[in-house]
Structure 1
Amino acid sequence: MTTISQKLQELGHSLPAVKTPAANYLSYTLQGNLLIIAGQIGRPGSAKAGVVGAGLTAEAAKQDAEIAALGVLAIIDAVTEGNIARIAQVQRLGVFIAATADFDGHSAIANGASDLFVAVLGERGRHARTAIGVASLPTGAAVEVDAIVQLVAA
């Protein structure tokens, strides 16, 4: 059995620990075979956190999108016990980017998350996506990623 962790190691990544929710919400919900994952953020409070177009580069934000996607994958890994075969399809990613009003490169930043999902899961990682610019994100994060994933019955 190929695991999510093994695929990430092949790509030079490792799974982070699943974070405890910061407020009154769940990290994920599971309704039947539909896994809904709460937003995961990149590097809160770091030198790389901030607003794209106001001191933070699009390339740094794209890396943050990849880091946030690793957080989403960590939750998928926990729910599926690492078994990639349990993932039928990533249905949707939502990517929220703290950016100035005149910034318009949201899709390129969101590719940091999308590219990682496809690299790890192949065709099952392809998804519908929304990339949205926002004024700010929790703890000063530059990027937040949430997901809806269809699972195969265990």
Structure 2
Amino acid sequence: MMMQTNSECINPKHSLLNVMNKFIAATNNMDETVMVPSLLRDVPLEEEEEGPKLDNIICPSKQGDMYQHYLLLKSIKRDMEWGLLRREMNGGAGFLEMAAQSGEENSAEDGSDLEQQFHYHLRGIFGVLSKLTVLANRCTNRYKREIGGGGCMA
């Protein structure tokens, strides 16, 4: 049995599983709150004064409405929970397939160190999931404001 030193202990607050769980929880909360998704059509993503401009991060080529963001978040969550096989069986290509194919091509071409590739993509997935979690919370809060719901979450 191996003993772990304090430096080897993992802080769950900074783990990939924690970031994934936060995104899934925020998306589940959004899905439970948004009873009539069509009410989000033509509702622009309202920028909050603090934080990044998520509209440009999520859909840089077009300004989407809240409904598009709602569908995107649900699709990404479904891909995370069910993996690539489900989309392949349905004949659709999602974000994860494109990323996996791109990663295979890059690793075959440059023969880079796998540990460096892993850390590069891990930093990327942390950043993306954090932004998607903020977007899910904003979508939930915006829906509550649109229907005149009570207090908004932070």
Larger Rg: 2
> Under TM normalisation by the shorter chain, which class is it?
under 0.3
Instruction: Tell me which protein shows more strand as a share of its residues.
Output: 1
TM-score, structure 2 length as denominator?
Answer: 0.28
Higher helix fraction: Structure 1 or Structure 2?
Answer: 2
Q: TM-score normalised to the size of structure 1? A: 0.28
